[in-house]
Amino acid sequence: MHPFNYQRATSPAQAVAAVAPAPSAAFVAGGTSQLDLMKEEVLRPSLLVDVAALPLKTIGALAGGLQLGAGVSNTAAAMHPEVLTRYPVVSEALLAGASTQIRNMASLGGNPLQRTRCPYFRDPAQACNKREPGTGCAALKGINKVHAIFGASAACVATHPSDLAVALAVLDAQVQVVGPAGSRTIAFPDLHRLPGDTPQQDTTLAHGELITSIDLPAFTGRSHYLKVRERASYAFALVSCAVALDMDGKKIKRARVALGGVAHKPWRVPAAEAMLAGKKPSEKLFRAAAEVAFADAKPLEHNAYKIPMGRNLLLRALLETSGLQPLQGPAGTAFAASVGGMGGE
Amino acid sequence: MVEVTGKPLDRVDGRLKVTGAARYSAEWDVPGLTYGAIVSSAVAHGTVRTIDSAEALQAPGVLAVLTHENAPRLQPFPEKVNGSLFRGEGGITETRQPLQDATVEYAGQPLAVVVADTLERARHAANLVRITYEQRPPELTIDSSSRRTLPETFTGNKEEKLQVTVGDPKAALAAAPVKLTQVYESGITHHNPIEQLASIARWETRNGTDFLTLYDTTRGVENMQEVVSHSLSLPKENVHVVCPFIGGAFGSKGWLFAPPLITVMAARVVKRPVKIEWRRQDMFAVAGQRAATRQTLALGATRDGKLTALQHDTQTHASQSSGYTEPCARVSRMMYAVPNLGFAHQLSHLHLPSPCPMRGPGETVGGWALECAIDELAAELNLDPVELRLRNYAEQNPETGKPWSSKHLRECYARGQEMIGWDKRNPKPRSMREGNNLIGYGMATTMYPAARRPAKAKATLFADGRALVQSATHELGNGAYTIFRQISADGLGLPVERVRFELGDSALPAAPTSGGSATTATIGPAALAACRNVLGALKRLAIRDAQSPLYGATEDTVEPRDGRLVRTTAPTQGEDYATILRRAKLPSLEAEGEAKPGDEREKYSFYSFGAVFVKVRVDELTGTIRVAQLCAVYDVGRLMNPKTAHSQIIGGVAMGLGAALMEETHYDPHNGRAVVRNLADYHVPSMADTPNIQVEWLNIPDPHISELGARGIGEIGCVGTPAAITNAVYHATGRRFRSLPLTPDKILPS
């Protein structure tokens, strides 16, 4: 681990003031992924400013929706009754991720900012443009089983690992930020970016900008998260899918669909969403939407399986969200979100 | 007194472990300790051109940087150690001595060690060592290897030839009315015990000579003492190896010696004790692995399902400096009554880390291939998979012709079928469905060779009524402390709470490396022999003592009973052990004992058997498999402790489940670096993956293996499970999967 200084922030403004002037300073909250990367010297911050104790840990009503403080733990958010009942997609995504211990430490503000699980990024001896711009991308011709099928570039084929981010992408969530240039609001789909030729930048946050809350607008529709992984618990998504459906009687008024594990950011599929709007739910419709959603997928050597897996998953997520098929467990739980369920009878 | 052996005694070291009081190798409090951090090779093949330690040496707290240019010289690796072949084709270990030359044979090979006053400073300085390489293209696949060999034996054991033909399998195959040839592939897997490799080395001068104490995560204190003393040209008795607790090994921590040798060299150079705790990432390079295999199974049979030919050919790989060969035919060579039997093993030397045994070496993946092929033949013949196995039931060992020491496999099949409800399934593949899932049932036979080795033990009776039994064996988390205390208590005729058992120290009476499911059969009889000998000495004390009620008796008319020595013909005449010792003014009385296998090994073939039955759910559209039910019945001789045995067997089954469904380490196809190198990416089964594993055992003593009648149980749970799961997935889907692990990408219909 590279030597670093450590400070506890006293207020969001003070935290920003501490980080902003030092290009290699960083915020730390739960540190669940950040500290691993520091031990590997993938991240080498000169200064860590700890924001975990800041008063950003409340969940409260906001204009018919909910404001989730950036310091709220994954566990607390997932178990909050308002989140569970009104935004089950958020609880399901959170509870289908990581382990209990990690969820207890991780924060809502940090979760969407976790770095990719691309194994080439995490090994400093491998070529990786995200870690060290200009060194190349070893994953492109390496073992790319868990990599992107959408939106990748020749510089980077990494995927974003957060389950929560996929859920937030279908809720029109807004990210409140304070920074050296003041406060601003970022629409959640604009928080993350595609790699292009600057894959070292995961997000559109400027250096020194701190997330203070994630705001969920009012939502009365149905929402659901579904995830495929290589074991029943504690594994990142091969492919995941978040769906939010606003209903108008028996018809879908508006559909929002995002895919996880397939791109550098939560991958919204506008063509599929448009196809669903104004239609009555049916398996045929959903199949057609799933086809459209993956029409532009560009697989690498080892990840073509994500296309049929993703289509099948999206179809099932739509069937379950619309009620055409039952959920596989109580809404808002990991059982609803986990394809295959647990071992045992 | 009622015997305690065979009773479900609680783990005697359980409290120490859950309270953190059990001392693991990285936890010894050694005054003046310093810390080593490893710099390993970034490339897989080539030569170190330059290695620049200047910046690291200037970093705070750094005491030394050892590289091949300045490290102490070591003797070449020994050819054989305690009877096992270490070097050469089929040899068990990597024979590269660390930090001796500039050659790079695999990525992650240790090239330097930085020693500093704190771990953090050592790790940071390790990142300041700059290495340049003369790179050469690595050979990374079985087919690209320019160095392929046909090893003759596994670890030099003449009983375990790797190239064998019995009868004429080729002609028999050609003539067989029904034949089947399939290729089965398995990926590289890692043991991944929770406890990582760790060593602490401390040098002292004792009586004017160098003396080394080495705390190391080894399950072979004797071998470690031998290899380290040989490498350093020290007398064996000047090396003391200590390891009272191991946090899981599963085949690792026995056969790779570079990590402790680096620690020992570092401590010698800095003249202070050094600790090196290897990181999880390093474990994928230096801790051994199960190599990948490609196995071709050819079966010939009559139309009524009698096997006429079996040919099992394996291609596998080792590093440049190891000849370790995954012995995949271990099950094929003995399981079925087949007159024409052949097997071969081809080894490709690659620029990948060295393999070593991993739980069920050969049996786990070789048995998987065989038992899947048998399942395929059953389908081909339209026979129940159990029925096909019964039609080929081996009444004696087909390779050697020897009778079994004890075999009750038919009972295992029958009970396993009852447990899972085998007859309730629709035998037609792809015929059962629940919701999103296809349902399937599968089974496989399992086995494990019942090895036994020579060992010694020492028993000591104390004048306060307590006793101690010792042997240089190991506690791997398997329950060794517990069962050897039980066996010793019975051997001494004392209550179990008055007896302690000590292990894990090279100063104790010699015992072999704990492996091959041989520890119970090896150490148990040695402990009993020591107990008998110390009681013999005690008897002699008593019968020569005029004040003893046993005075004048002969040894064979005195026996232990409830902590007393009594006259056999008049049990009220006697006295307890402590009284005899106290009157003789002896604080303690000790005796060694030795036990080894005898000519029963010439007469019988020793194996454990079992049958595994599985129900799976396959969500084919997402490629997701879950094990719904797993029932297994084992014929493993007499159980020493049903509680620790249950834990050990279900742990083995869970590991077999991991091998079947998720465990695999990938190496980059171009640069040979491990791409899976942490426990987030290397998936072992979580609790949510594991059903309620139902295991039963027959508990029929083996009349020939030893006076205890117990065979080992460390590995049999792992063997058989992967094939039972794979066969169940076939029954669910109607599709054959011949590549482990069965990850979702392979299951999805393309």
Q: Contact B622/A119, CB-based, under 8 Å? A: no
> Any idea what the Cα angle at residue B424 is, between residues B420 and B428, rounded to 5°?
110
Are residues B537 and B661 located together in one domain of the fold? no
> Any idea what the Cα angle at residue A217 is, between residues A215 and A219, rounded to 5°?
135
Domain-embedded: residue B341: no
Are residues B440 and B458 located together in one domain of the fold? no
Number of domains in chain B: 3
- End residue of a domain, out of B562, B596, B630: B596
Confidence bin at A298 (pLDDT 50/70/90): very high
Give the whole-angstrom CA distance, residue B207 versus residue B147. 49
**Does residue B334 contact residue B447 with C-beta atoms inside 8 Å?**
yes
Are residues B717 and B739 located together in one domain of the fold? yes
User: ipTM value of the model?
Assistant: 0.97
Spell out the residues 6+ positions from residue A134 whose beta carbon is closer than 8 angstroms to its own: none
**pLDDT exceeding 70 applies to what percent of chain B?**
100
- pLDDT digits over A218-261, tens only? 999 999 999 999 999 999 999 999 999 999 999 999 999 999 99
Q: What is the pLDDT of residue B58?
A: 98
**Does residue B94 contact residue B256 with C-beta atoms inside 8 Å?**
yes
Are residues B542 and B680 located together in one domain of the fold? no
By residue count, chain A amounts to 345
- Is pLDDT of B675 > 70? yes
Closest Cβ opposite residue A343 in set B127, B436, B690: B690
3-class SS of residue B448: strand
Smallest CA-to-CA distance from A90 within A193, A163, A196, A32 is with A163
| Pairing state between β A267-268 and A251-260 | antiparallel
The CATH number assigned to the domain with range A224-335 reads 3.30.390.50
- pLDDT digits over B271-302, tens only? 999 999 999 999 999 999 999 999 999 999 99
Which pair of structure tokens corresponds to residue A13?
């403004």
With tokens 């089929």, the residue in question is: B90
**What are residue B184's DSSP bridge partners?**
B295
**Does residue A118 contact residue B676 with C-beta atoms inside 8 Å?**
no
- End residue of a domain, out of B596, B617, B636: B596
Q: Contact B744/A141, CB-based, under 8 Å? A: no
Smallest CA-to-CA distance from A130 within A162, A111, A158, A110 is with A158
Closest Cβ opposite residue B624 in set A3, A36, A228: A228
Q: What is the pLDDT of residue B558?
A: 96
Domain-embedded: residue B168: no
| Pairing state between β A25-28 and B46-52 | unpaired
Smallest CA-to-CA distance from B747 within A118, A312, A213, A266 is with A312
**pLDDT exceeding 90 applies to what percent of chain B?**
99
DSSP letter string, B214-231:
EEE--S-HHHHHHHHHHH
Rounded to the nearest angstrom, the gap between the alpha carbon of residue B389 and the centroid of all alpha carbons in its chain is 28
**pLDDT exceeding 70 applies to what percent of chain A?**
100
- Is pLDDT of B83 > 90? no
Domain-embedded: residue B310: no
Are residues B478 and B575 located together in one domain of the fold? yes
Which pair of structure tokens corresponds to residue B165?
């033909």
- pLDDT digits over B605-652, tens only? 999 999 999 999 999 999 999 999 999 999 999 999 999 999 999 999
Give the whole-angstrom CA distance, residue B713 versus residue B696. 13
Are residues B264 and B245 located together in one domain of the fold? yes
Residues of B in contact with A138 (CB under 8 A): 668, 670-671
Are residues B227 and B133 located together in one domain of the fold? yes
- Is pLDDT of B585 > 90? yes
Mean pLDDT of chain A: 97
Domain-embedded: residue B330: no
Q: Does A231 touch chain B (CB under 8 A)?
A: yes
Give the whole-angstrom CA distance, residue B286 versus residue B424. 48
CATH number at residue B434: 3.30.365.10
Smallest CA-to-CA distance from B244 within B266, B224, B219, B279 is with B219
Residues of A in contact with B108 (CB under 8 A): none
DSSP letter string, A33-95:
THHHHHHTTS---SEEEE-TTSS---EEEETTEEEEETTSBHHHHHH-HHHHHH-HHHHHHHH
Domain-embedded: residue B365: no
**Does residue B406 contact residue B704 with C-beta atoms inside 8 Å?**
yes
How far CA B393 is from CA of B334, B338, B397, B719, in Å, comes to: 10, 9, 10, 18
Q: Contact B629/A345, CB-based, under 8 Å? A: yes
Q: Contact B744/A313, CB-based, under 8 Å? A: no
With tokens 């990367």, the residue in question is: A37
Are residues B96 and B213 located together in one domain of the fold? yes
- pLDDT digits over B426-475, tens only? 999 999 999 999 999 999 999 999 999 999 999 999 999 999 999 999 99
Spell out the residues 6+ positions from residue B450 whose beta carbon is closer than 8 angstroms to its own: B405, B517, B521, B606, B607, B608, B637, B702, B705, B711, B712
Nearest CA in chain B to A240: B622
Are residues B421 and B467 located together in one domain of the fold? no
Domain-embedded: residue B379: no
Q: Could you tell me the residue range of the domain that residue B467 belongs to?
A: 453-596
Q: Contact B691/A312, CB-based, under 8 Å? A: no
Residue from A123, A137, A239 whose CB has the most chain B CBs within 10 Å, to mutate:
A123
The three-state (H, E, C) secondary structure of B234-246, written as one string: CCHHHEEEECCCC
Q: What is the pLDDT of residue B178?
A: 98
Are residues B71 and B107 located together in one domain of the fold? yes
**Does residue B667 contact residue B674 with C-beta atoms inside 8 Å?**
yes
Q: What is the pLDDT of residue B750?
A: 72
Q: What is the pLDDT of residue B749?
A: 85
Q: Does B107 touch chain A (CB under 8 A)?
A: yes
For B434, phi then psi, to 5°, come to -140, 115
Give the whole-angstrom CA distance, residue B623 versus residue B748. 5
Q: What's the gap in Å between the CA of B661 and the closest CA on chain A?
A: 8
Give the whole-angstrom CA distance, residue B527 versus residue B470. 8
How is chain A split into domains, by residue range? 224-335
Which pair of structure tokens corresponds to residue A332?
């808002």
Q: Contact A238/B745, CB-based, under 8 Å? A: yes
- Is pLDDT of B1 > 70? no
Smallest CA-to-CA distance from B62 within B110, B122, B112 is with B122
- pLDDT digits over B363-417, tens only? 999 999 999 999 999 999 999 999 999 999 999 999 899 999 999 999 999 999 9
**Does residue A240 contact residue A227 with C-beta atoms inside 8 Å?**
yes
Per annotation, catalytic residue among B89, B326, B376, B715: B715
Q: Does A111 touch chain B (CB under 8 A)?
A: no
**Does residue A28 contact residue A51 with C-beta atoms inside 8 Å?**
yes
Are residues B448 and B458 located together in one domain of the fold? no
Q: Contact B124/A230, CB-based, under 8 Å? A: no
- Is pLDDT of B422 > 80? yes
- Is residue B715 annotated as a catalytic residue, yes or no? yes
- Is pLDDT of A208 > 90? yes
Give the whole-angstrom CA distance, residue A323 versus residue A74. 27
**Does residue B440 contact residue B432 with C-beta atoms inside 8 Å?**
yes
